Copies of this chain bind each other. A is one copy, B any other.
């Protein structure tokens, strides 16, 4: 049973709109979005779990560090399914940590902790779960970015219209920290 469903978020989705229904999604076939150079794929969201948790993957090119940000009300898991990713986290006391995570390794970012990551090998894949008492934010990626039916990384980076940064992140519990500095070795 790998079915396709008309969906709230896109014309075709493998996530059934009836939240009580079991489903399967093959690799890469979740609800996809492009944001800058990255591909985000949602396999389950708050609508499926009475707003308790979500499940998505993040992929991007080897390269630069993503913008530092935090989530006032959201805990986040970084589990490396493939490749290598360097995770940067600051605790609420200001102490900074970084760790190179490879396949099977795990990182946990509590709410309010500034964090970022840098993909250190091509074809890396991060599994993410991001949720808290206030709900889940998996539709952030397609709202700041753009939904796509394509498979794979964006052919060219999708750059959001500047005014979207004033409204979309807050709506999904994301706070960008443009002046943040990582003092770890990096």
- Seen from chain A, the residues whose Cβ lies within 8 Å of a Cβ on chain B are 1-2, 19-28, 30, 43-44, 48-50, 52-53, 55, 75, 77, 79, 81, 87, 89-92, 97, 99, 101-113, 115, 125, 127, 129, 131-133
Contacts and interface: CB of A to CB of B under 8 A. Distances in A.
Given A27-B104, A43-B77, 4 more contacts: A20-B112, A20-B113, A22-B90, A22-B109
Contacts of A101: 24
Nearest to A55: B77
B75 A50 contact: yes
Contacts of A129: 53, 55, 129
Contacts of A99: 1-2, 24
Q: How many copies does the complex hold?
A: 2
Given A2-B99, A20-B91, A113-B22, A108 B43 contact: yes
Given A49-B75, A52-B133, A129-B53, A22 B81 contact: no
Nearest to A125: B104
A116 B79 CA distance: 24
A105 B55 contact: no
B44 A77 contact: yes
A127 B79 contact: yes
Contacts of A132: 49-50, 52
22 contacts: A19-B110, A20-B91, A22-B108, A24-B101, A24-B105, A25-B105, A26-B104, A27-B106, A43-B106, A48-B108, A49-B131, A50-B133, A52-B52, A52-B53, A52-B131, A53-B75, A55-B79, A55-B129, A81-B81, A81-B127, A127-B127, A129-B129
